[in-house]
Structure 1
């Protein structure tokens, strides 16, 4: 009977978790993309650099918002 090493079990678990993480990120990216389209971001002419900067500012604003 082949023995499964502790290392290989951990590697398998890491691979499963990475797949789950990739799936969650893809779903979240789709959700945020849909929200961006609804907000009209797809209709403006702005560079990716400018848009990322503005989105980071929005993220910072929400991170700093007091809990209600």
Structure 2
């Protein structure tokens, strides 16, 4: 039996479909994070964009530290 080879067009079509799925997932995540920021009152904070980004990076680092892989998740 011949190997199952995909044409370049088919591969490009699959890549385009995956890129679209990625964009949709990013939009959903952005909406989710935006809603969480509003619930937390971040929209009422008078701070520069760079200050907010820095604070969010600190929060991200804190959550990453608490989510270190265990034997079950590694």
How many pairs are equivalent?
Answer: 64
Q: CA deviation at 1:34?
A: 0.3
Q: CA deviation at 1:66?
A: 4.7
Structure 2 partner of 1:15? 16
TM-score (norm 2): 0.80
List gaps (5 residues or longer) in structure 2. Answer: 1-5
Structure 1 partner of 2:53? 52
Moved over 2 A (4+): none
User: Structure 1 or 2: larger helix share?
Assistant: 1
Q: Counterparts of 1:16 and 1:59 in 2: how far apart (Å)?
A: 30
List gaps (5 residues or longer) in structure 1. Answer: none
Mapping for residues 32-51 of structure 1, pairs under 5 Å: 32-51=33-52
Structure 2 partner of 1:28? 29
Q: CA deviation at 1:27?
A: 0.5
TM-score (norm 1): 0.86
